């Protein structure tokens, strides 16, 4: 069964203190791994799509990387406005899963203190 596990559940950082969020996945053929940011009571905001092991993508203070079993979201010198829940999701490419269905992890809630 396709599954996504994120760790830690919650992370508190001081402003400027870099860290990484982890997303471990098992999927029957990975079509894509997605990172989203979600603010309380709002819809998830798309950040990155990664397609194959070794791929990396960057946006401002965020960098996402992918291996065959996990993905990391590195946050460099975070600011208070980076506080949010970060969600990881996978899309499978095999068999009856040939759809756009995303399987989400439970998320990591990040708090950055000034």
Partner 1 sequence: DSGVTQTPKHLITATGQRVTLRCSPRSGDLSVYWYQQSLDQGLQFLIQYYNGEERAKGNILERFSAQQFPDLHSELNLSSLELGDSALYFCASSVGPSEAYEQYFGPGTRLTVT
Please identify, using beta-carbon distances, which residue of 48 and 82 lies nearer to partner 1: 48
Q: Are 91 and 102 in contact (CB under 8 A)?
A: yes
Closest separation in Å from C-beta 79 to partner 1: 22
Closest separation in Å from C-beta 41 to partner 1: 8
Q: 38: which 2 tokens?
A: 């979600």
Please identify, using beta-carbon distances, which residue of 46 and 113 lies nearer to partner 1: 46
CA torsion sign for 62, 29, 54, 72 is positive
CA distance 51 to 21: 18
Q: 58: which 2 tokens?
A: 């960057």
Closest separation in Å from C-beta 31 to partner 1: 5
Site residues, partner 1 (CB under 8 A) = 31-32, 34, 36, 41-46, 49, 51, 87, 89, 91, 93, 98-107
């Amino acid at each position: 069964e396709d599954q996504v596990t994120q760790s830690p559940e919650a992370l508190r950082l001081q402003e400027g203190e870099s860290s990484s969020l982890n997303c471990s996945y098992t999927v029957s053929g990975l079509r894509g791994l997605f990172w989203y940011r979600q603010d309380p009571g709002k819809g998830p905001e798309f950040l990155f799509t990664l397609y194959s092991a070794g791929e990396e993508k960057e946006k401002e203070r965020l960098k996402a990387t992918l291996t065959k079993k996990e993905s990391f979201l590195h946050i460099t010198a975070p600011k208070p406005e980076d506080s949010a829940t970060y969600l990881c999701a996978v899309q499978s490419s095999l068999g009856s899963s040939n759809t756009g269905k995303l399987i989400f992890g439970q998320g990591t809630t990040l708090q950055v203190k000034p």
